[in-house]
Amino acid sequence: EAEVAQSPRYKITEKSQAVAFWCDPISGHATLYWYRQILGQGPELLVQFQDESVVDDSQLPKDRFSAERLKGVDSTLKIQPAELGDSAMYLCASSLAGVDTEAFFGQGTRLTVV
Amino acid sequence: AQSVTQLGSHVSVSEGALVLLRCNYSSSVPPYLFWYVQYPNQGLQLLLKYTSAATLVKGINGFEAEFKKSETSFHLTKPSAHMSDAAEYFCAVRNTGGFKTIFGAGTRLFVKA
């Protein structure tokens, strides 16, 4: 069964350091999402790609976060510098194009900033 | 603007009892609605989705949800809870004219033996 792959699963980093997460969506899925989930809350969309183009990054803290999907396949989310408040689960998801299609989620990366 | 409200951050039921998780949405246009389940330290898994076909939607693991436009609700039910149903459940909404999916805050389901 096709899955969304994310790495690493867990990451501990010190405050002010740089950190990066990687996501490989299900083959053929044009839409890719990065969500942040703070403990006890629902996922919050950080950025959404359609192929290699960003279609929504309104909630992405652009002073420290960046995301790219250069060839319209896999994607990287970077934080620099990391802050204590960035500790959360970072979830990647992908879907076929179309408003009635569901998102398929990876297992996430649990980030702890110390 | 679209939004989702899940009533009750925690729900506790006995094994074999009815599960009812509540979800109300706000949307200016007909929505698409989803229920996802999340186990600890895992991603979200789709349980079921409503896309304007039948108002009663059946999903995996014996769950179902009914879309009620007059009540702007999409409550999730299961006739008989199993210990393995203990998890966090999220309701989500997407406008038919848009592409952004908004998630509720989640309801944690506890199942007592």
Least Cα separation, residue A91 to chain B (angstroms): 7
Per-residue pLDDT tens digits for A64-87? 999 999 888 999 999 999 999 999
Chain B interface disruption, residue of A95, A100, A104, most B CBs within 10 A: A100
Which residue, among B78, B5, B89, has the nearest Cα to B39 in the 3D structure?
B89
Tell which B residues from 37 to 76 touch A, by Cβ distance under 8 Å.
41-46, 49, 51
Q: Is residue A93 very low, low, confident or very high in pLDDT (cuts 50, 70, 90)? A: very high
Kindly state whether A24 is in contact with chain B, defined as any CB-CB distance less than 8 angstroms: no
Which residue, among B11, B29, B27, has the nearest Cα to B19 in the 3D structure?
B11
**What does the pLDDT read at residue A2?**
82
Which residues of A fall within a CB distance of 8 Å from B97?
99
CA dihedral B76, A34, A93, B66 (to 10 degrees): 20
A17 vs A81: CA distance, rounded Å: 5
**What does the pLDDT read at residue B1?**
72
Which residues of B fall within a CB distance of 8 Å from A99?
32, 94-99
| Mean pLDDT across A102-107 | 93
**What does the pLDDT read at residue B96?**
63
Which residues of A fall within a CB distance of 8 Å from B105?
40-42
**What does the pLDDT read at residue A97?**
80
Q: Is the pLDDT of residue B68 over 80?
A: yes
**What does the pLDDT read at residue A64?**
97
Per-residue pLDDT tens digits for B73-83? 999 999 999 99
Q: Is the pLDDT of residue B40 over 70?
A: yes
